[in-house]
Chains A and B, each alone.
Chain A
Amino acid sequence: EPEVTQTPSHQVTQMGQEVILRCVPISNHLYFYWYRQILGQKVEFLVSFYNNEISEKSEIFDDQFSVERPDGSNFTLKIRSTKLEDSAMYFCASRISGATDTQYFGPGTRLTVL
């Protein structure tokens, strides 16, 4: 069964460093999302992406964040200068299309900023 994959599973970085989190959505899906979950808290929407551009972003998704679909299969989230409060589980999700299709989540990348 096709699934969303994410790499790495765990990333440790120093404050101020850039990180790139990678996702491979399900191949025939058209809509892509990033969410984050700070430990012990609820899941928060970051950004949605369709047709090679951002379609929606939350207040969390400031200038330090960017997304890209560089090669038609990967979908990346870049954090330019990480802060301690960026430590969280980051989930990528994809859905095929239409109004009632489910978002399927990857296993997540746990980002730890020291």
Chain B
Amino acid sequence: AQKITQTQPGMFVQEKEAVTLDCTYDTSDPSYGLFWYKQPSSGEMIFLIYQGSYDQQNATEGRYSLNFQKARKSANLVISASQLGDSAMYFCAMRVMDSNYQLIWGAGTKLIIKP
């Protein structure tokens, strides 16, 4: 069965520190995609970063990077130099290639940045 697991329901981090949000996934499909989305308290879902299963290098987007460890089936999000505006829910999601690319979601991690 395809599944996304986020084991950290909540995290507190000091401003300007780096933070790692954990995500593990389970799929038997060799071709898949992994996403991270940010959901602020206002409710919208903001795309952050994408990693394809065949990508050789870890994805980076500004302060966001994805630590992709295929053998361990993990796709952790790293936020460098955290800011107060990073406080939000963060969701890891996996695109299922054989099913019209619907996304399967983790339960999310609530990140709070302390000043």
Which of the four size classes fits the interface of chain B?
Answer: 20 to 34
- A45, A89, A91, A103 — most chain B CB neighbours (10 Å): A103
A100-B50, A105-B44, A107-B43 are contacts. A42–B102 as well, Cβ < 8 Å? no
Whether, in the assembled complex, B84 has its beta carbon less than 8 Å from a beta carbon of chain A, the answer is no
The number of A-B residue pairs with CB atoms under 8 Å apart is 63
A45 touches B103 (CB 8 A): yes
Whether, in the assembled complex, A75 has its beta carbon less than 8 Å from a beta carbon of chain B, the answer is no
Whether, in the assembled complex, A48 has its beta carbon less than 8 Å from a beta carbon of chain B, the answer is yes
Chain A interface, number of residues (Cβ within 8 angstroms): 27
A42-B105, A102-B50 are contacts. A31–B45 as well, Cβ < 8 Å? no
Q: Chain A residues near B44 (CB, 8 Å)?
A: 105-108
Chain B nearest CB: distance from A84 CB in Å?
Answer: 20
A50-B100, A110-B43 are contacts. A44–B50 as well, Cβ < 8 Å? no
Chain B positions 59-115 with a Cβ under 8 Å from a chain A Cβ: 91, 93, 95, 97, 99-108
- Taken residue by residue from 32 to 61, chain B's Cβ proximity to chain A (1 for < 8 Å, 0 otherwise) reads as 010101000011111100101000000000
Whether, in the assembled complex, A65 has its beta carbon less than 8 Å from a beta carbon of chain B, the answer is no
Q: Chain A residues near B7 (CB, 8 Å)?
A: none
Q: Chain A residues near B106 (CB, 8 Å)?
A: 42
A-B contact pairs, 15 of them (CB 8 A): A31-B101, A33-B103, A42-B91, A43-B45, A45-B103, A45-B104, A48-B100, A48-B101, A89-B43, A93-B45, A99-B101, A100-B52, A106-B44, A107-B42, A107-B44
On B, residues with C-beta under 8 Å from A are: 31, 33, 35, 37, 42-47, 50, 52, 91, 93, 95, 97, 99-108
On A, residues with C-beta under 8 Å from B are: 31, 33, 35, 41-45, 48, 50, 55-56, 58, 89, 91, 93, 95, 99-100, 102-108, 110
